[in-house]
Amino acid sequence: MFEATSLLIKPGNTVGELIEFTNTYAVGQGGKHGLVTRSMLKGGGYGEDGPRVSPMTRVDDLPEPLRELRFEPGAFVVWKPDVYADDMGGALSWGGAMRVAERGAEFVGHRPLRLIAIK
């Protein structure tokens, strides 16, 4: 989910396009049990000052100025789409700080994105 959707965080694309694609992509990946995503996108830079798309937000719920907001080259956002399926028994959130680039967002975290099994 994270890798496929991060490609849309590039100059010229809108927040609405990202959220709509994320939800459509999740439905297409869900198989017979269905897959749901809850997008979390923050921008602005200094904490909770927004703009912000909270989990469970759908495109139609976004205020038009936020839905039409275009990503600018070199801007930074926090992108954490999570996924949930009935057979998972919970949700998995994946993501972090991203730099808007021509080929899609670039992860700028210092730790590698990987799963670690904890027993």
The string of pLDDT tens digits covering residues 51-66 is: 567 665 677 888 888 8
Contact 66, 19 (CB under 8 A): no
- Does pLDDT of 41 surpass 90? no
Q: What is the pLDDT of residues 72-89, one digit of tens each?
A: 999 988 888 887 766 667
- Residue the block writes with tokens 């992108």: 79
Mean pLDDT of 34-38: 70
- Cβ neighbours of residue 47 under 8 Å, at least 6 residues apart? none
Q: CA-to-CA distance for 101 and 95, rounded, in angstroms?
A: 16
- Does pLDDT of 46 surpass 60? no
